Amino acid sequence: MRELEMGFLGKITASMTHEIKNTLAIILESSGLLSDLLNFSEPGTFPHQEKFQKVLGTINEQVNRGVVLATRLNQFAHSMDEPLAEVKLADLQELVVALMQRLARRRGVVLTALAPDREVSFRSDPFRLLLVLCSVVEHLADMLESGGKILLQSPPAPEGVAILLEVQGAKKAGLEGLTETLFPSLRDLVAALGTELAVSLPPTPEGVLLTVKAGGS
């Protein structure tokens, strides 16, 4: 039943994001046409040309922003398509950053991803993997003082694939506490994914390490 519900949620969300993009495309072309008409008109024939172009520029920027957001939401929706799918590590990291950017920003935390130096992909459940990673990001953002940073990266892993969520900056509490707060709530999910969660402490970079045991390719 859970799979059925997720499939439904994903399908409807994906469908709606397509419609949103269609709407944005109409707004973009309409504002583009207005801009063209101003540009192709005789100089001095329209008294507010500069103001109009400025406003149209803002519309253009915001539509493009909306397109990026709709695209990310669409990718998130499609993560629910299949319980087992090919996951590209770089795409996964980028999507986590995109989905959690606003939440991190509201806590004064900078969230970024360092692209892997090679193309890595593996088979997993994309939606549940996102759920685990986004939960970790949320907890880490809560633990950091404003001005802190979370950096997603993929350190070499002897077996499988590793994703390190490194934290930088002052913290409100030690990361060791995560083993008693966050990790138990994710235990079943992490096990079902064939992954492991661990706290990484100095001298290694400080953060949370997710290891996908199934192996990359």
Partner 1 sequence: MQKMRVLLVDDETEFVSALAERLNLRGFEAQTAGSGEEALTKVDASQPDVVLLDVVMPGMSGLEVLKRIKKAHPQVKVILLTGRGSWEGIQGVRDGAYDCLMKPIQIEELMQVMTDAVEGKEKNDPLKENESCVN
DSSP string, 49-100: HHHHHHHHHHHHHHHHHHHHHHHHHHHHHHTTS-SSEEEEHHHHHHHHHHHH
- 149: contact with partner 1 by CB under 8 A: no
Binding mask 14-53 for partner 1 (x = CB under 8 A): x---x--xx-xxx-xxx-xx--xx--x-------------
Stretch that binds partner 1, among 13-21, 110-118, 151-159, 198-206 (CB under 8 A): 13-21
Stretch that binds partner 1, among 73-81, 82-90, 98-106, 196-204 (CB under 8 A): 73-81
One of 6, 67, 157, 214 touching partner 1 (CB under 8 A): 67
Q: How far is the CB of 104 from partner 1 (least distance, A)?
A: 23
Q: How far is the CB of 4 from partner 1 (least distance, A)?
A: 22
Structure token pair of residue 135: 């939960």
Structure token pair of residue 123: 């088979």
One of 56, 63, 98, 109 touching partner 1 (CB under 8 A): 63
Count of residues making up the chain: 217
Binding site for partner 1 (CB under 8 A): 14, 18, 21-22, 24-26, 28-30, 32-33, 36-37, 40, 63, 67, 71, 74-75, 78
